[in-house]
Amino acid sequence: MRCVTDDFPASTVLGYPRVGPDRELKHALEGYWDGRIDRAGLDRVGRALRADTWHRLAQLGLDGLPSNTFSEYDQVLDTAVLVDAVPDRFRERSEPYFAMARGADGVAPLRMTKWFDTNYHYLVPEIGPRTRFRLVADKPLGEVREARELGYETRPVVVGPVTFLRLAQAAPGSPAGFAPIDRLDDLLDVYVRLLTALADEGVAWVQLDEPVLVTDGGSPAVRHAYRRLAGHGRRPRLLVASYFGDIADALPALAVTAVEAVALDLTHGVPANVDLLRGKTVVGGVVSGREVWRTDADSARALLAGANATSVSTSCSLLHVPYSLRGEDVLPGRLAFAEEKVAEVVELARLGPKPGPVPVAAAVGGSPGVHELRVELLNRREGGVPTERNGRAERSPYEVRALAQRDLGLPVLPVTTIGSFPQTGALRAARREVAAGARGEAEYEELVRAEIRRVVEVQERLGIDVLVHGEPERNDMVQYFAEHLDGFAVTRNGWVQSYGSRCTRPPILHGDVRRSAPITVRWARYAQSLTDKPVKGMLTGPVTIVAWSFVRDDLPLRDVTMQVAEAVRAEVQDLEAAGIRVIQVDEPALRELLPLRREEQAGYLEWAVAAYRWATGGAGDATQIHTHLCYSNADEVLAAIDALDADVTSIESARSGTAVQGFGRGLGPGVYDIHSPRIPDVAEVTARLRNALRHVPAERLWVNPDCGLKTRTYEQVEAALANVVAAARKVRSVL
């Protein structure tokens, strides 16, 4: 394939997985944090992973190798360190980097939140009016040199200045009205120095990632930033990478700058105004970095032709898909993971663009409305005969339900947890042995039951009011349901990084979804048999199940989601019939699927809410429905959360105390952050509760951590929950 403007390589990828094909980085990090391996050991693992990646990409025939795509925790955190935006509270720590990521005694970590509309989480930089930016370029320069020693010239990848600031939050104590983007010019000084340093190092191309371009309103800052950066004399050539959608109206902003190359996510189609990029290299992202379906070569070549692309790439980093299909036997012939996608990129570069019809996304047109879908689902159930139980999509109004739920006999400020208790190594090992045929099913089940007994006993001893069974039978809150529903396939080793050392194996939703038998009922029933306190049944909601799976692309997402909702609805009704009085249906991904463009948001929220209400609407008034959300910048979807109409909503809430005032039903703003090993003390929790009481009346306030406890140890959980119960009692006593 010919390069018109310059020497940008014909094939590349915007980024690559880094946790290791066998999660080597995960194991090394956790070993390091536990003191089982030393710094040198951790460094060795990182170095080997980087080398393996470059070797593999080169071996697959890729021309343009990226560097600085490795991270020990998160690329946004790396960027904060690159510009020395390290808040003072971390500076005197022995390891500021991991303290920012995970907290340290007495020091809260940076907040963590969703990376655009993915299940990857980044750490939110804190930028104030006085943050002093300074270039600390060791990491990108180090990776360039490391690759060079292995014989590879690479293109360092760095989060761009506009995206960095737009994703940051105002540092605590910043004056009202201050926004991190106000510091753009100061930050650009550092990026100019970075470009100089890379030029001095002999780097030919640098990639600055600006996914913020596909959201509303980034364009003026982008225009300003890249005029300045591209106008700077001594620098490598610049590739600005937009991804996660259509750049549309932000494209002219880049077009007027002197950047040499622009990467476009073409999986959403070719921007109408792409001709404005004439004279620049267009890097065509035609191989999806988000999906796992094989790329159709004809469509991809047509997209390349339509966009005048002279280089082929992935639509975004491959961070969001597993390493490879080796060792998997799922859906033969239909899938491509990272390695197979690299091979696709290489092959498409060889074939080159070819004009042809450009495919239209499946998500639009031709599908029934939400109402018709409900009717159709209703008709499909029980031969279309509406019964007392399934004929009703809506429950009575909240006030009526609240009365019907009084006999649950809960105290004011009831204490509960979000569902999971620590996942022990013994359980995980046992699951692996069952999968390998080395352990019997019955023996495993007894292990799970023993764990449920332990979890119930711990909660009774601590004085929790609404108990959970602890989810010990689940490998993951989505994968577990996928394994028990028709229409899903799961992988053996298809790990994808979620945050830091934590990974998931997203299931693959490839066919019509159906529940052929109850999934959770026996575990909930067993837990309830052990206690007089109510046990909360625990389900994952339909939006979250599809959000955290790879999903078929031949049906609109909302139709797929309604199918899942139907399966969850059946499970809710079976739990109720088994005597479970409180049922939580989690929707932590509700916010995640929110379209990045405002104009598409209302349509999404309508069907997302409809799916949730379909899933829960079959419960009687006396059954208390809970929901749980986390990492939500809840403010943006507050009306939708309200519309879910759950009796109780628990929510991550470092700061959402004020956001949720006026919320008309039960509310549990998380009283401590479970993502950090830190144990909250009684005073801290008490203060949180008192603060919450300024916004939520006591009779509707619930007390809970801000997410599930599976990533913690029993020791941490018991200590933390004891303090939570003590704080609740203290606050109750003076109400």
Terminal alpha carbon distance of the chain: 74
The single residue listed with the structure tokens 């909250």 is 680
Complex with ligand MET: residue 212 or 477, whichever CB lies closer: 477
For residue 552, give Cα distances in angstroms to 487, 511, 543: 10, 7, 14
476 binds ligand 39S (CB under 6 A): yes
Complex with ligand 39S: residue 111 or 389, whichever CB lies closer: 111
Which of 319, 292, 318 shows the shortest CA–CA distance to 120?
A: 319
> Which token pair is 79?
């960027």
Which of 414, 483, 492 shows the shortest CA–CA distance to 650?
A: 414
Q: Is 420 assigned to a binding site?
A: yes
List residues bridging with 420 in a β-sheet. 470
> Which token pair is 12?
């590349």
Chosen residue from 581, 628, 675, 712 binding ligand MET by CB under 6 A: 628
CA distance 355 to 336: 24
Q: Is 645 assigned to a binding site?
A: no
630 binds Zn ion (CB under 5 A): yes
The single residue listed with the structure tokens 């000084």 is 189
Q: What is the DSSP letter of 267?
A: G
675 binds ligand MET (CB under 6 A): no
Shortest distance in whole angstroms from residue 652 CB to Zn ion: 7
Please report, as residue ranges, which positions from 99 to 128 form the binding site for ligand 39S (by CB under 6 A): 119
Binding piece for ligand 39S, criterion CB under 6 A, among 169-177, 368-376, 475-483, 527-535:
475-483
Complex with ligand 39S: residue 27 or 148, whichever CB lies closer: 27
Contacts for 441 with CB less than 8 Å, ≥ 6 apart = 434
Chosen residue from 215, 314, 504, 623 binding ligand 39S by CB under 6 A: 504
475 binds ligand 39S (CB under 6 A): yes
Phi, psi of 536 (to 5 degrees): -90, 120
Complex with Zn ion: residue 127 or 418, whichever CB lies closer: 418
Q: Is 155 assigned to a binding site?
A: no
Is 469 considered catalytic here?
no
Binding-site string for ligand MET from residue 292 to residue 321, where x marks contact by CB under 6 A and - marks none = ------------------------------
Give me the catalytic one of 268, 320, 626, 675. 675
Complex with Zn ion: residue 246 or 673, whichever CB lies closer: 673
Which of Zn ion, ligand 39S, ligand MET, none lies near 538, with the C-beta cut-off 5 to 8 A by kind? ligand MET
Complex with Zn ion: residue 573 or 649, whichever CB lies closer: 649
Residue 167 · residue 213 · CB < 8 Å: no
Complex with Zn ion: residue 164 or 548, whichever CB lies closer: 548
H/E element, 446: helix 441-462
Residue 235 · residue 257 · CB < 8 Å: no
Binding piece for Zn ion, criterion CB under 5 A, among 105-113, 162-170, 246-254, 588-596:
588-596
Q: Is 316 assigned to a binding site?
A: no
547 binds Zn ion (CB under 5 A): no
Coil vs helix vs strand at 149: helix
716 binds ligand 39S (CB under 6 A): no
How many residues sit close enough to ligand 39S to count as binding (CB under 6 A)? 21
83 binds Zn ion (CB under 5 A): no
CA distance 102 to 678: 9
Binding piece for Zn ion, criterion CB under 5 A, among 46-54, 161-169, 445-453, 628-636:
628-636
Shortest distance in whole angstroms from residue 390 CB to Zn ion: 29
Per the document, the length of the chain is: 735
Contacts for 79 with CB less than 8 Å, ≥ 6 apart = 125, 158, 159, 164
Residue 9 · residue 58 · CB < 8 Å: no
Give the distance, in angstroms, between the CA of residue 297 and the centroid of all CA atoms in the same chain: 29
Binding piece for ligand MET, criterion CB under 6 A, among 103-111, 418-426, 514-522, 526-534:
418-426
Residue 266 · residue 312 · CB < 8 Å: no
Binding-site string for ligand 39S from residue 531 to residue 570, where x marks contact by CB under 6 A and - marks none = -----------------x----------------------
In the complex, which residue's CB is closest to ligand MET?
708
Binding piece for ligand MET, criterion CB under 6 A, among 14-22, 139-147, 170-178, 412-420:
412-420
CA distance 467 to 410: 12
Q: Is 127 assigned to a binding site?
A: no
Q: Is 418 assigned to a binding site?
A: yes
User: What torsion, rounded to 10 degrees, do the Cα atoms 516, 520, 523, 524 define?
Assistant: -130
Which of 706, 717, 654, 676 shows the shortest CA–CA distance to 101?
A: 676
Which of 189, 167, 188, 190 shows the shortest CA–CA distance to 179?
A: 167
Shortest distance in whole angstroms from residue 453 CB to ligand MET: 19
Q: Is 652 assigned to a binding site?
A: yes
Complex with ligand MET: residue 613 or 710, whichever CB lies closer: 710
Adjacency order of strands within the sheet including 648-651: 536-540, 582-586, 624-629, 648-651, 666-669
Paired sense of beta strands 502-504 and 496-499, if any? antiparallel
Helix axes 370-380, 601-616, angle to 10 degrees: 20
Binding-site string for ligand MET from residue 464 to residue 503, where x marks contact by CB under 6 A and - marks none = -------------x--------------------------
For residue 238, give Cα distances in angstroms to 114, 262, 591: 27, 8, 33
Residue 652 · residue 586 · CB < 8 Å: no
Which of 90, 166, 724 shows the shortest CA–CA distance to 462?
A: 724
348 binds ligand MET (CB under 6 A): no
Chosen residue from 96, 500, 534, 588 binding ligand MET by CB under 6 A: 588
Chosen residue from 46, 236, 534, 708 binding ligand MET by CB under 6 A: 708
Complex with Zn ion: residue 335 or 546, whichever CB lies closer: 546
Q: Is 707 assigned to a binding site?
A: yes
Q: What is the DSSP letter of 381?
A: G
Shortest distance in whole angstroms from residue 479 CB to ligand 39S: 6
Q: Is 730 assigned to a binding site?
A: no
Give the distance, in angstroms, between the CA of residue 517 and the centroid of all CA atoms in the same chain: 29
Residue 270 · residue 316 · CB < 8 Å: no
Residue 597 · residue 215 · CB < 8 Å: yes
Chosen residue from 538, 625, 667, 679 binding ligand MET by CB under 6 A: 538
Residue 298 · residue 354 · CB < 8 Å: yes
428 binds ligand 39S (CB under 6 A): yes
Which of ligand 39S, Zn ion, ligand MET, none lies near 510, with the C-beta cut-off 5 to 8 A by kind? none
CA distance 198 to 211: 22
Binding site members for L-methionine: 418-420, 471, 586
| Residues with catalytic function | 675
List interacting residues with ligand MET (CB under 6 A). 418-420, 477, 538, 586, 588, 628, 630, 707-708, 710
Residues annotated within the binding site for L-homocysteine are: 418-420, 586
Summarize the annotated binding site as residue ranges: 26, 119, 418-420, 471, 502-503, 548, 586, 628, 630, 652, 707
Q: Which residues bind Zn ion (CB under 5 A)?
A: 588, 630, 707
Summarize as ranges the residues that interact with ligand 39S (CB under 6 A): 119, 423, 425, 428-429, 431-432, 475-478, 498-499, 502-505, 548, 588, 710-711
